[in-house]
């Protein structure tokens, strides 16, 4: 699940742009028909290798948005894996699930491109925003300072 609150330093009860997590995008991901939405930002390592993030009955995708510069933008992100499960002799067994979620805010700069998502360091998950820096066809991701986004 991802929601974008462009031009807001906080997470509103209503509103925000549903980036992913809707029934339509979940169904499209399930059957493999969901597509990327690009504004022409440079590809990052993540977007170039997006197919590696596909799961069983789940196609990874991205969406790019134009957001206002010099004012805070907030994101609410959530992730939960589907546990592996099986049944033997009528007894159901399931594996562990991983999850991550929260709300962050950052102030974008004019003319810059950003990528938001989750970064994993061992068992720890962090919500992250990176500036996409294009260096003559090569790109690198530079961490952007974020802070927790409160509820409005």
* pLDDT tens for each residue of 9-59: 999 988 788 886 555 555 455 556 567 777 888 888 877 776 666 665 666
The model carries a pTM of: 0.76
Q: What pLDDT does 27 receive?
A: 46
Q: Is the pLDDT of residue 64 over 70?
A: yes
Q: How far apart are CA 20 and CA 22, in angstroms?
A: 6
Q: What pLDDT does 37 receive?
A: 75
Q: How far apart are CA 8 and CA 49, in angstroms?
A: 31
Share of the chain above pLDDT 90, in %: 39
Q: How far apart are CA 86 and CA 149, in angstroms?
A: 39
Provide φ and ψ at 26, rounded to 5°: -65, -45
* pLDDT tens for each residue of 115-136: 998 877 777 888 999 999 998 8
CA dihedral of residues 44, 27, 76, 56 (deg, nearest 10): -60
Q: How far apart are CA 58 and CA 11, in angstroms?
A: 28
Task: Classify the C-alpha dihedral 120-122-125-131 as positive or negative.
Answer: negative
């Amino acid at each position: 699940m991802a929601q974008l609150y462009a031009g807001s330093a906080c997470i509103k009860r209503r509103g925000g742009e549903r980036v992913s997590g809707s029934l339509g995008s979940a169904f499209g991901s399930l059957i493999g028909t969901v597509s990327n939405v690009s504004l022409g930002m440079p590809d990052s390592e993540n977007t170039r290798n997006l197919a590696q993030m596909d799961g069983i009955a789940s196609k990874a995708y991205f969406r790019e948005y134009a957001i206002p510069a010099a004012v805070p933008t907030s994101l609410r992100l959530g992730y939960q894996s589907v546990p592996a499960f099986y049944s033997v002799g009528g007894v159901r067994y399931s594996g562990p699930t991983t999850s991550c979620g929260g709300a962050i805010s950052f102030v974008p700069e004019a003319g810059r491109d950003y990528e938001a998502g989750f970064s994993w360091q061992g068992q720890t998950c962090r919500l992250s925003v990176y500036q996409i820096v294009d260096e003559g066809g090569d790109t690198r991701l530079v961490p952007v300072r974020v802070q927790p986004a409160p509820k409005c």
